[in-house]
């Protein structure tokens, strides 16, 4: 929302197709967002560095996969590493591409397939911003000796960094907020991605599996993420 006392959220659009960039920018601006546009992959990281220094960092990046210069995959990884709290929505040309992207665990917050309606883009942008802000609200979440550091997207078990990916961190975070509550795979997917059609339940299972493995490396005796047969998963710190 664009009130005069709060600056509008700024969306960086990285897209080499001028028509698409213009269309998306128009819709976002019509919905109260400010936009910036880059059309070359090589320009993105230096631009973000400068924006950060000038205190003009964007609130979200819409990132095309196929770009001249540095490609979207590389950029997404770099952004995740250097600015872990900056949400990224990837724009891809094909639905089939999304499964592969998810497998690569780039840490993008959402994926939108071309061709898309600009209205869909606005809805996704709003949803991702809402979600990432909700996820960052409290500074730390504690479950006995497991601590989530929201600023650094880290989970510490007995002070030891579990080295979680963004998706694993989110999954753990969602479950830790309601200990003992059983989450279906569907509900967990809701917290991960907006578009159910493109994420299979197996994707959730494989992220959970990796999450449990990482916790198990620190606490081999404890099983704090439990699977509930036929239903889903829950966080259960105590017996
Ligand atoms: Ca392109």
- Which 3 state secondary structure label does DSSP give 24? helix
Give distance in angstroms: CA of 125 to centre of ligand 1: 19
Q: How far is CA 158 from CA 143, 162, 167, 174, 182, in A?
A: 11, 10, 21, 20, 25
Superfamily of domain 10-136: Response regulator (3.40.50.2300)
Give distance in angstroms: CA of 117 to centre of ligand 1: 16
Domain boundaries, the chain: 10-136, 146-235
* Fold agreement between 10-136 and 146-235: no
Give distance in angstroms: CA of 77 to centre of ligand 1: 18
Rounded (10°) angle between helices 41-53 and 72-82: 20
Q: Which residue has the higher pLDDT, 173 or 84?
A: 173
Give distance in angstroms: CA of 143 to centre of ligand 1: 44
pTM over 0.75? The answer is no
Tens of pLDDT, residues 71-101? 999 999 899 888 878 899 999 887 777 767 7
Tens of pLDDT, residues 178-235? 777 888 887 788 776 654 445 677 888 999 999 999 999 988 888 899 988 778 898 8
pLDDT of residue 28: 97
CATH of 146-235, one of 1.10.645.10, 3.20.20.80, 3.40.50.720, 1.10.10.10: 1.10.10.10
Max mean pLDDT range (43-52, 148-157, 188-197): 43-52
CB atoms within 10 A of CB 61: 24
Residue 27: in which H helix or E strand, if any? helix 18-30
Q: How many CA atoms lie within 13 A of 111 on its CB side?
A: 27
pLDDT of residue 4: 52
Q: Which residue has the higher pLDDT, 11 or 166?
A: 11
Give distance in angstroms: CA of 137 to centre of ligand 1: 34
Give distance in angstroms: CA of 236 to centre of ligand 1: 45
Q: How far is CA 161 from CA 139, 142, 157, 192, 213, in A?
A: 16, 14, 7, 22, 13
Q: What is the mean pLDDT of residues 59-64?
A: 96
């Amino acid at each position: 929302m664009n009130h005069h006392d709060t600056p509008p959220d700024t969306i960086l659009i990285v897209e080499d197709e001028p028509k698409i960039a213009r269309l998306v920018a128009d819709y976002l601006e019509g919905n109260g967002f400010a936009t910036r546009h880059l059309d070359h992959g090589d320009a993105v990281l230096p631009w973000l560095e400068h924006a950060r220094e000038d205190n003009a960092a964007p609130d979200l990046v819409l990132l095309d996969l196929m770009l001249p210069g540095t490609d979207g995959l590389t950029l997404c990884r770099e952004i995740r590493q250097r600015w872990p709290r900056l949400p990224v929505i990837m724009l891809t040309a094909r639905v089939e591409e999304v499964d592969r992207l998810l497998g690569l665990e780039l840490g993008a917050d959402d994926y939108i397939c071309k061709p898309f309606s600009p209205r869909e883009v606005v809805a996704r942008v709003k949803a991702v911003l809402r979600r990432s802000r909700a996820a960052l609200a409290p500074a730390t979440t504690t479950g006995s000796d497991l601590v989530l550091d929201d600023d650094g997207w880290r989970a510490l078990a007995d002070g030891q960094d579990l080295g979680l990916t963004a998706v694993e961190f989110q999954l753990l975070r969602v479950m830790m907020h309601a200990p003992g509550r059983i989450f279906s795979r569907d509900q967990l997917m809701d917290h991960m991605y907006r578009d159910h059609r493109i994420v299979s339940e197996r994707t959730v299972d494989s992220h959970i599996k990796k999450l449990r493995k990482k916790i198990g490396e620190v606490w081999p005796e404890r099983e704090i993420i439990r699977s509930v047969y036929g239903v889903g998963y829950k966080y259960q710190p105590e017996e």
